[in-house]
Structures are given as structure tokens and as C-alpha cells.
Structure 1
Amino acid sequence: MQHPELKTPYFMIDESKLIRNLEIAKKLKELSGVKLVLALKCFSTWGVFDIIKPYLDGTTSSGPFEVKLGYDTFGGETHAYSVGYSEDDVKEVADICDKMIFNSQNQLAAHRHLVEGKAELGLRLNPGVSYAGQDLADPARQFSRLGVQVNHINPEVFSSIDGVMFHMNCENKDVDAFIRLLDDISEQFGTYLDQLKWVSLGGGVFFTWPGYDVEKLAAALKAFSDKHGVQLYLEPGEAIITQTTDLVVTVVDIVENELKTAIVDSATEAHRLDTLIYNEPASILGASESGDHRYVIGSCSCLAGDQFCVTQFDQPLEIGQRLHILDSAGYTMVKLNWFNGLKMPSIYCQRANGEVQKLNEFGYEDFKRSLSQWSVS
């Protein structure tokens, strides 16, 4: 649906598409007994948590502000994890989280006295195996700092914690590959897992991808849970919000240097950072692989290589035309920044009844305040 009255750039979250993903999540929970906690590092737009809360069990975090946000706006279980906690971080959230998961045995030993009696204790383990398309996002990459390797574990630690967390997937659309990881974890860590109350298998399991065999995944999760006598958790982020949101932009100029570039009023570096970081071209609504008119969709930032994609259209683009950059919810709104002093996209939700709800908008005062609040005399 077009909304010419809204000024670009803006994000538009579609409630109906979000519910479609959530219904799949509900099915997975019912078949497997797994609990699902939303990964706030991927998506934290709390203005739509009223849609998500009835389907999921809580939230998980990667830093203290996310813990607070989950507790304040989502409820349910609040899981706290960080690669590196300071003592102040732990004190800040120990009273409001249900589970606190430490990244290392050093951190667990240093801070457990601040948590005991308040939240359940967990430890992240690194199985040394993973499924990730890029090394940058691979938790089991060489020299990884994420979690405790099996040959570094002190077995005594398992008698004084409640659970463990593994995170070894990134956009894993292959259920058989995930099951192989499960089997590997069971073989490596099974005797330890048998002593615990719960195990989190992290995020990155793309069970809402079209054609994904949810029943097969559910059966594998249930078998693992029964084998080790643990409550399982998954930490979906992208799986919940995939294909729910467009970033809507306007073509403000068209330039040509061997290839035409449509410059839009947005930038990957400021508004869709993962496009740049992972060099994964965006998809544009209405583009055509067989189209005769080829364009770079370029940003309005000053970074020379800042572009959304190179794609084709059946008809020439025009200045003033709006483009919808698809699948723009995950790792976008949580990473917005003020590079170049560009206007930050507003955030809207189109409800199932057709109503468009404004969730947030940003102006010059937000930009100014983000850089300094007080002058130095």
C-alpha cells in the first residue's frame, strides 16, 4: 500500500506479515515445547511489542540497556547476556532479569555473588561448530572470544549454574544442518547438559523461511530436550521480523557515469548498515531481473561505495519516484546513526485494519543532542 502523505525516508512495519511469522513461531512452540525469547539486538522497536508479546516468552539481550528495555516494555522472561559485563552493568540489571548468562568462567566467578538469589546463572559455551555465511558473523570463527571452548571447561562449574547458552547459527535455513549441530553439541557436552535445568540454543535459526520444515525442527528440539532433561530456548530475531518491513525512499537525482545511479534520500551507512557491512545487496520492490533499465541504487551519503544494490527495472526511474527497499527490519532500526547529518527515517506500523500508526520520528534536535548536551565554558 502506498502512503504519499508520509515523508520519506521511513520504515513501514506490516502487522499482518509480522503475525504470519508469529503464527509459525507459535506452531514451533506447541510441537516442541521450546520457549522463544526475542533477540533485542536484532529488533527492539517496542512500539509493536503488543503484537509480539502474546506469541513469545520474553526477551534476550546483549547489553544492559536492552535488558531494561525488555523488562520495561515486553515482560515475560528477561534474559541478560553480554560478551563483557562490568560490575556496574551486573548491578544495574541483576534485580530485573530472570537469567544472567556470562560469556566466560572468569566473568561468572567475578560477578556471580551479585546475582545469586536474584536470577538464575548461565554460562555461554562455544561448541567450535557453526552455520554462518560470513566469517564476520561466525561465532565459531578462529580465535573466537564468544563462549567457553570445550577443552577449557572446568567441569565443577556445572554444579553451580542453572543453564548454558550456545549461539552458533546465522540465518540458517537448513534444518538438517541445524540438527547436525544439535547432535554435535549433545556428543561434546551431553554429560554437562544432563546436570542443568535449561539450555538456550541461541538465534539464527530461520524457521520462518518459506519451505522450512518446522515439524522436523520441532521433533529434533523435543528429542534433544527429552534426552538431556532440559527446558530448551531459542532466541529468534530475524526469524520473527523477516519480510515484514520496507524502508521507503525517494529518488532525488539520477546521475550517469557509464551506469545510471538513482540517488535516494537514505544511506546504507546510516539507515541499513548491514547492507554495507556484509556486502549483501538490498532488494527493491518492482525490480525485474529481465528489465532493460539498469541502475545503481545509490545513497545520499558522501561515502563513495555507499549503495543499496545494482538492479534492473522494466521502466526508467524518475526523480521523485518512491522505492521500497524490502526486508528492512532486522539490524536496521537498532543501528540507526546520524552519519552526514542525514535525516533519520521515521518508523510506522500499518496495522491489520489498515490504520497507519506512527511509532517514532526524529528531527534536528535529536541529532544535535546526540553529539553534545552541554557546552564547556
Structure 2
Amino acid sequence: MQKNELKTPYFMIDEAKLISNLEIAKRLKELSGVKLVLALKCFSTWGVFDIIKPYLDGTTSSGPYEVQLGYETFGGETHAYSVGYSEDDVKAVADMCDKMIFNSQSQLKAYRHLIEDKASIGLRLNPGVSCAGQDLADPARQFSRLGVQADHIDEEVFSSIDGVMFHMNCENKSADNFITLLNSISDRFGRYLDNMQWVSLGGGVFFTWPGYEIEKLAAALKAFSDKHGVQVYLEPGEAIITKTTDLVVTVVDVVENGMKTAIVDSATEAHRLDTLIYNEPASIMEADENGEHEYVIGSCSCLAGDQFCVAKFAEPLEIGQKLHIMDSAGYTMVKLNWFNGLRMPTVYCERANGELQKLNEFDFQDFKRALSQWSVQ
């Protein structure tokens, strides 16, 4: 099987690039003593967990199916968290998770009896500080429902839990910025942390970004752990899979109405949803910023504003030409949907030895089954 023979759209995960990120994660662990659990809300393509498992300590989840997926396919530590558990949710994951983190004191009170003899119990606290590029993704935004605010804490709760979780970063690429947030947490919540066994500092720390000061981050994490006598966890998602995966598409038409638009056999609304949600243009491998030929890279969905980006190219685009939409793993593959009944991208992994491994493919029956399973007679 050769790449040029593959039918688009498809995702291609590059094992060598994935391992490069994982080696940085390994170094961070060695220098700091921190444990790393993969955030399945960002990336759940379990067909490549065999690559990731040797480097990380387990998984963390945002819903019951993610807990089960981590437990069954990854192993190690399985952390369970949800913004809002039902009683059935708690019962479903109680025998699978090593740590269960509640979002509120009311949920903790309601359900701790179902879990306390089975897993370590934690509570999410809202630090009131954050680093997030968009308000939509800011855990400390005004009126945030995520975690217990400092002025709402019932101090007695800390005598009945083992750890706490903070999440205050989204694509934070600065060690100094993170350390500022970490110091704020230590100052504001230190008296509680001193009595805990573990503290999770959440995800969004982009320690695999080029030039990131790993040693500085590691030293700060180790100092925090030593000061409060806790095992520190981070919950990386994007940091593990950034720049590892392309969404490969084909130009199926070129139309013009004031600007030339190259229509491709994919759609942001179905296959790269965060491009649409956050209005962050995608990047095309074949683009040339100095090129003379500018195109809107438009999707084949019916949504008028559904486009990947505007890009320049050295040569005119042609129908049948393939384009690589880069960095298309995180918060992308987990959000795939069947809008417009578009063909779902096949998922491949290019192994370090050059072998192309098919991880999943979809057909009409998958689309049909997603909408109804039984007919009403």
C-alpha cells in the first residue's frame, strides 16, 4: 500500500513524530518526578496507544466511556473526572478507575459512598487564574462552572479526600507563564495542598512546543511537589500529539466569486470542528506564503462559511490534487461527525519503519447505524 494510492479523506499519524514528542515527555518526567496521564478528551485513537503507553502513566477522562476506553486499552492509572456525574455514571466506572475527581462539593457528598472503598477521591478546585487564548476555553472565565471557587470551599471537605485537581491552561507555551500560575496556586491553596497525597495540575501545558524550557518547568514542578509533599500529575493532550497527524484531502472543484475557492472532499464541520468553533485557520503543507496564487480552501459541506483557511500557492491548484491539512489530531479526531453524510476519513498510522497501518475505516453502514438501529413497526 502506497500513500499515493490511498483514497481521501484520511488521517495519517506519523509514529516517528509521535515518539519525538513522547521522548520530551519522558525527559520531563525524569527531571521533575511528575506523572503524566493522557487526556482522552483530546486524543482517543487507541490504535496507537501501543506507541504511547511505554512513556505515560495512564489516562484521564471527562466522561464514562472515556474511563472505560482508558481502562480497557491503555491501562496504568485510570483517572475519572466529569463536570456532572449521574449516579449511574459513578456506578459504571467505580470498578475501573484508580482516581475519581468530582467537580463540586455537592457531587462529592452525593456519590462518594459509591467509590470510597474502590478508588482515591479528589475534588476539582477553580484557581481563579488561567492562561487561555479564548474565553470559550478559559476554565477560570466569569461564572465558570468548572471546579470549586476559593471562596466557596468548605474546609472540612479536605479531611475526606486524597487529592485535588486544577485545570487552568490551554496551549500555554511559556514556562514562565505557567510558573506564575503555579505560584498563585501554591500561595492561595497551599494550606489545603499540604494535607493532600496528590495534586493534578491539569492539561494545556504545551511542553513539546519548539523552544519550550523543559528544565525550568521541571524544576518548578519538583519544587512544588517537595514544598507540599504531594505527587504531581499533568494531563497532557495536545502536547503529546501536536504536529503528528495530517488530514489529507483532494481538490474536487475550483470555483470563483471574487476569490478562487478550491473545494475539497472534507469539511471543518464534520472532520475538523475546532477550526470552525474557534475560528482558527488551518495550515496547509503545500502552501507557499510567497506564492502568487491565492485560494480559499473550502469544504464540500452545505454550510456557507465552512472553510479551512485562505492560503497562497506557488502554482495554480488543480482538480485531483491532494492537500495536507497539518496538525489535525488533537480535539479533531474525537469530534468527528456525520454532518451532510460525508465520507468519514479513514485513519492510518505511518510506522517508523515506513509501514502504513490502517487503524479504522468507515462506510455507509456506520453512517446509517449512527442515526437509527431499529425501525418502529
TM-score by structure 2 length? 0.99
- Residue 94 of structure 1 pairs with residue 97 of structure 2: no
Distance 1:256 1:136 in 2: 34
**Residue 228 (structure 1) aligns with:** 228
1:4 aligns to what SS in structure 2?
A: helix
| Code of the aligned partner of 1:261 | T
Distance 2:214 2:181 in 1: 16
Q: Percent identity?
A: 83
Distance 1:238 1:261 in 2: 30
1:168 aligns to what SS in structure 2?
A: coil
- Residue 194 of structure 1 pairs with residue 173 of structure 2: no
Distance 1:47 1:13 in 2: 10
Q: Map Cα deviations across residues 89-129 of structure 1 (whole Å, 9 max, x no partner).
A: 00000111000000000000000000011000000000110
Q: Map Cα deviations across residues 162-195 of structure 1 (whole Å, 9 max, x no partner).
A: 0000000000001101000000000110000000
Distance 2:351 2:27 in 1: 23
Distance 1:14 1:96 in 2: 31
2:89 aligns to what SS in structure 1?
A: helix
1:310 aligns to what SS in structure 2?
A: strand
Q: Map Cα deviations across residues 3-59 of structure 1 (whole Å, 9 max, x no partner).
A: 111100000000000000000000000000000000000000000000000000000
Distance 1:52 1:24 in 2: 12
Q: How does 1:28-43 map to 2 (within 5 A)?
A: 28-43=28-43
| Code of the aligned partner of 1:292 | E
Q: Map Cα deviations across residues 340-372 of structure 1 (whole Å, 9 max, x no partner).
A: 000000000000000000000000000000000
Aligned-pair distance for 1:286?
1.9
**Residue 6 (structure 1) aligns with:** 6
| Code of the aligned partner of 1:104 | S
Distance 1:331 1:342 in 2: 19
**Residue 146 (structure 1) aligns with:** 146
**Residue 20 (structure 1) aligns with:** 20
Distance 2:220 2:281 in 1: 33
| Code of the aligned partner of 2:38 | L
Q: How does 1:1-377 map to 2 (within 5 A)?
A: 3-377=3-377
| Code of the aligned partner of 1:55 | Y
1:211 aligns to what SS in structure 2?
A: coil
2:5 aligns to what SS in structure 1?
A: coil
| Code of the aligned partner of 2:208 | T
| Code of the aligned partner of 1:128 | G
| Code of the aligned partner of 1:198 | W
| Code of the aligned partner of 1:79 | H
Q: Map Cα deviations across residues 239-261 of structure 1 (whole Å, 9 max, x no partner).
A: 00000000000000000011000
Aligned-pair distance for 1:290?
1.1
Distance 2:329 2:43 in 1: 7
2:4 aligns to what SS in structure 1?
A: coil
Aligned-pair distance for 1:333?
1.0
Q: Map Cα deviations across residues 123-151 of structure 1 (whole Å, 9 max, x no partner).
A: 00001100000000000000000000000
Distance 1:327 1:2 in 2: 21
| Code of the aligned partner of 1:217 | L
- Runs of 4 or more, structure 1, over 3 Å off, are none
Distance 1:374 1:289 in 2: 51
Aligned-pair distance for 1:2?
7.2
Aligned residue pairs, count: 377
Distance 1:260 1:61 in 2: 43
Distance 1:288 1:223 in 2: 45
Distance 2:290 2:355 in 1: 35
Distance 2:144 2:288 in 1: 40
| Code of the aligned partner of 1:61 | S
| Code of the aligned partner of 1:64 | P
1:280 aligns to what SS in structure 2?
A: coil
TM-score by structure 1 length? 0.99
